[in-house]
């Protein structure tokens, strides 16, 4: 682990709060940010003094490497509040480990664990009033690292900034999501960065997704780049298929994000005696299952998306509409997950982390 220059956080508090101006009932995902942000710079081979300052613009040179080569990684996590005002994170160790796995792949130095947790808990305590209680409310937390060195040769930067910003959130998707199964474009390849939360993984989806949207589909379920025969992930979420009463999802690999919600659904399914198969899922079998009525549902699982049912899919010109049922696995696992996150149910696996 990288040596620390110092441990205490320098704090400059905001003189005013935007809290009273926010309409918490009508939030658009990712548009509103809390009063403070955390940041920590890396230079001379070590992470420097961490700081919390009022949320606002920052200045970087136009030559900062992130603007040219996309040397940037991020995380998505959420804080929840119970009815007594206690705030919790959900499996934050997973996010800490994953941001450093992503960072390693992008040649970014590891961020120290003490800084991550101290930064996270300090900013969340300062902006605690932004976490609203009630199922469906959360504070979305976005840790990220960017390469700040002002130099445009194509090589890893010598300076970085790690930051945490926070945004109150409701649902990412409302209602069922209509998806295309990818036939031409690819999200990731063997040996690539698909498993990492690399900023460029998301930018690369924008163009094909806009083509899908023009056809009336909000998202793409990406298939393997070699054959386009196996279903992998949706880019904003991992994907589960229910065939009869069995839940099927693709195994993680260097092409697929190791989602925290994904692994939590798999565990909850095992706890609930729902049969789960983690194995390659082919387009062919899912189309066949849709045709013979054994495909009961498809849903996505992700931090922002929580658990979002898929209401239709398209492949090869065939469109399959999926009925959204109230007794679905999607509804069952979403309820179970939210109850744990909001401290309304036992937490047998120790996933809640009290702030």
In the complex, the residues that contact ligand COI under the rule CB under 6 A are 76, 202, 236, 302-305
Q: Output 304 or 310, the one with its CB closest to ligand COI.
A: 304
Closest distance to ligand COI from the beta carbon of 236 (Å)? 4
Measured at CB, which residue is nearest to ligand COI?
A: 76
Q: Output 305 or 330, the one with its CB closest to ligand COI.
A: 305
Q: Output 50 or 235, the one with its CB closest to ligand COI.
A: 235
Closest distance to ligand COI from the beta carbon of 314 (Å)? 21
Distance CA 241, CA 229 (A): 15
Closest distance to ligand COI from the beta carbon of 294 (Å)? 29
Q: Output 167 or 286, the one with its CB closest to ligand COI.
A: 167
Report how far apart, in Å, the C-alpha atoms of 247 and of each of 50, 75, 169, 326, 329 are: 43, 26, 28, 17, 9
Closest distance to ligand COI from the beta carbon of 214 (Å)? 20
Closest distance to ligand COI from the beta carbon of 196 (Å)? 12
Q: Output 90 or 160, the one with its CB closest to ligand COI.
A: 90
Q: Output 69 or 202, the one with its CB closest to ligand COI.
A: 202
Closest distance to ligand COI from the beta carbon of 150 (Å)? 28
Q: Output 78 or 352, the one with its CB closest to ligand COI.
A: 78
Crossing angle for the helix pair 329-341 and 260-271, to the nearest 10 degrees: 110
- Sign of the C-alpha dihedral, residues 173, 175, 176, 179? negative
Closest distance to ligand COI from the beta carbon of 300 (Å)? 10
Q: Output 176 or 259, the one with its CB closest to ligand COI.
A: 259
Q: Output 290 or 300, the one with its CB closest to ligand COI.
A: 300
Contact 180, 313 (CB under 8 A): yes
Distance CA 151, CA 158 (A): 9
Closest distance to ligand COI from the beta carbon of 5 (Å)? 30
- Sign of the C-alpha dihedral, residues 206, 211, 217, 220? negative
Closest distance to ligand COI from the beta carbon of 95 (Å)? 9
């Amino acid at each position: 682990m990288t040596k620390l220059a110092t441990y205490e956080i320098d704090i400059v508090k905001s003189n005013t709060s935007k809290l009273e101006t926010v309409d918490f009932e009508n939030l658009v995902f990712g548009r509103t940010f809390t009063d403070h942000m955390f940041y920590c710079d890396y230079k001379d081979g070590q992470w420097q003094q961490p700081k919390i300052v009022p949320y606002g613009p920052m200045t970087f040179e136009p030559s900062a490497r992130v603007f040219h080569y996309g040397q940037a990684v991020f995380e998505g996590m959420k804080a929840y509040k119970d009815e007594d005002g206690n705030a919790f994170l959900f499996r934050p160790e997973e996010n800490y480990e994953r941001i450093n796995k992503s960072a390693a792949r992008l040649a970014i130095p590891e961020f120290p664990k003490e800084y991550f947790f101290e930064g996270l808990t300090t900013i969340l305590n300062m902006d605690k009033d932004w976490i609203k209680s009630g199922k469906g409310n959360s504070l979305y937390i976005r840790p990220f690292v960017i390469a700040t060195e002002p130099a445009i040769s194509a090589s890893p930067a010598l300076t970085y900034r790690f930051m945490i910003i926070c945004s109150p959130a409701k649902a990412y998707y409302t209602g069922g999501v209509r998806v295309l199964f990818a036939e031409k474009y690819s999200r990731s390849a063997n040996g690539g960065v698909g498993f990492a939360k690399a900023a460029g993984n998301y930018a690369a989806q924008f163009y094909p997704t806009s083509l899908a949207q023009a056809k009336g589909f909000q998202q793409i379920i990406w298939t393997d780049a070699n054959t386009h025969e196996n279903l992998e992930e949706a880019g904003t979420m991992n994907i589960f298929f229910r065939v009869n009463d069995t839940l099927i999802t693709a195994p993680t690999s260097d092409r697929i994000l190791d989602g925290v919600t994904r692994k939590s659904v798999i565990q909850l399914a095992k706890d609930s005696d729902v049969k789960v198969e983690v194995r390659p899922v082919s387009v062919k079998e899912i189309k066949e299952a849709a045709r013979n009525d054994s495909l009961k549902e498809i849903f996505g699982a992700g931090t922002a998306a929580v658990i979002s049912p898929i209401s239709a899919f398209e492949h090869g010109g065939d469109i399959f509409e999926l009925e959204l049922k109230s007794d679905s696995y999607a509804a069952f696992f979403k309820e179970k997950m939210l109850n744990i996150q909001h401290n309304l149910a036992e937490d047998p696996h120790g996933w809640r982390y009290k702030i």
